[in-house]
Amino acid sequence: MFKRWIAAAALALGLSALAQTQIEFWTYYLSPNFDNYIKSTIADFEKENPNIKVRWVDKQDTMERDLTAAVALGKAPDVVNLWQDSTFAAAQNKILTPITQLVNRNVLNQLYYPNALDMFVTEGQVYGLPWYGWLDQGVMMYNPDLLQKAGVDVRSIRNTDDLLAVSARIKQATGAYGWLPPVKDPNGASFLGRFFLEGLPVYDRDGKAAFNSPAHVALLQKYVDAMKNDIIPQELLRKEAFQLSNELYSQGKAAIVVGAPTTLNRVKEANPDLYAKTRIASAPLGKAGIQTGGAMSLVVPRASKNQSAAIRFALFVTNRTNQVKFANVVPIVSTAAGSENDPGLKAKSNDPLEIGKGMNSASGRLINPGFKPPKNTDDIYKNFNDNIEAAFLGRKTAKQALDDAVAFWNANAK
């Protein structure tokens, strides 16, 4: 009798194991800081879906390589956290399942802000579910001592032109830099963002690159002159602006940081006194009056063997409840529709930082992704950055640099 019980139990276990699907979930740089949040989200999901087990792996620098290798080895993960450029590259190389094949587009339209969803649309298909987002401009953090020394009233800084003008005054009066604008970065084309923020188009109506008008040239020239006069540091050609801003601000060598409020966490670690002094104001915008930003995506590789379980999990992680929970752990911007009215994002006290964080997280509908990256992104962005660099180093005129970049772009964006 006992033996028969054992056999039955073993059979039952075996069957349940058969019925259980295991999926693999890859995140990007979220461990160890957000272990608790990710693990509890997975636990919630597994409770609701007892037949699906989620194995979580956090990938860092080697994400793209590992994804390609895993796909090639037939061991593709089921849900992967990518970003806009990598989602496009992976979609163009047919690594991803179009989300619209798994979920009806109308359903997606109800679940996410249209601007966020649109970030992952290429060739008419959605390739990624929008996950946590951010605003590039975010807020303006400043060192009041340096501003005071330079006689700058923070209320006079209303747009990026003001920021540049004030930076010149701060540099002259204190020797410290003012604001450090992104001009070049290894993975993108920052200066295109500057055009966009000032309301200058990147493409013409036919989708051809068209950023060499006199207005574009004048804008580039303005920043070139600023670097020539050491109002913005030349080091911006080598280091990303957010990294350099952080370093110099913490050392008291830069007065203003424009970006996500989370920047302050690093300042807090590096220079607690300065952190205590730091003041926050709303971010000055460019002439277009928009906040650019972006979002992470969750994608499903075509080689995933558990597509339906995968999309179920991806929808769960990116739903409003879970994004709002995430926003309460770290001030991300929720991309789930309706977040602006979610009670979970209302400040629980009158603390200004608290209010700021809540406002920030609830502003997903304002994220403007800017422009779509071109095909053949790597070569084109490399050429663009080389040209921008040549202009900043005085080896090409601003006009020549932009003309060359436009010509290369239109010849190579196949």
Q: Which residues bind another protein (CB under 8 A)?
A: 64-65, 67-68, 71-72, 86, 89-90, 92-95, 186, 234-235, 237-239, 302-303, 376-378, 382, 385-386, 389-390, 393, 395
**Residue bearing tokens 């987002």:** 133
**Is the CB of 121 or the CB of 324 nearer to another protein?**
121
Question: Minimum distance from CB of 395 to another protein (Å)?
Answer: 6
Asked if 149 and 160 count as a contact pair (C-beta separation under 8 A), the reply is: no
Residues in the chain: 414
Rounded to whole angstroms, the Cα distance separating 54 from 11 reads 23
Rounded to whole angstroms, the Cα distance separating 45 from 52 reads 8
Asked if 281 and 166 count as a contact pair (C-beta separation under 8 A), the reply is: no
Structure tokens at 176: 């410290």
Question: Minimum distance from CB of 40 to another protein (Å)?
Answer: 31
**Is the CB of 80 or the CB of 255 nearer to another protein?**
80
Question: Minimum distance from CB of 241 to another protein (Å)?
Answer: 13
Longest dimension (CA), the chain: 92
Question: Minimum distance from CB of 225 to another protein (Å)?
Answer: 17
Rounded to whole angstroms, the Cα distance separating 284 from 157 reads 7
Question: Minimum distance from CB of 389 to another protein (Å)?
Answer: 6
**Residue bearing tokens 């946590």:** 132
**Is the CB of 294 or the CB of 356 nearer to another protein?**
294
**Is the CB of 244 or the CB of 295 nearer to another protein?**
244
Question: Minimum distance from CB of 44 to another protein (Å)?
Answer: 31
Asked if 127 and 101 count as a contact pair (C-beta separation under 8 A), the reply is: no
Question: Minimum distance from CB of 247 to another protein (Å)?
Answer: 11
**Is the CB of 69 or the CB of 329 nearer to another protein?**
69
**Is the CB of 46 or the CB of 389 nearer to another protein?**
389
Query: How would you label 239-275 residue by residue, b for 16+ Cβ within 10 Å and e otherwise?
Result: bbbbebbbbbbbeebbbbbbbbbebbebbeeebeebb
**Is the CB of 107 or the CB of 393 nearer to another protein?**
393
Residue 388: other Cβ atoms inside 10 A: 26
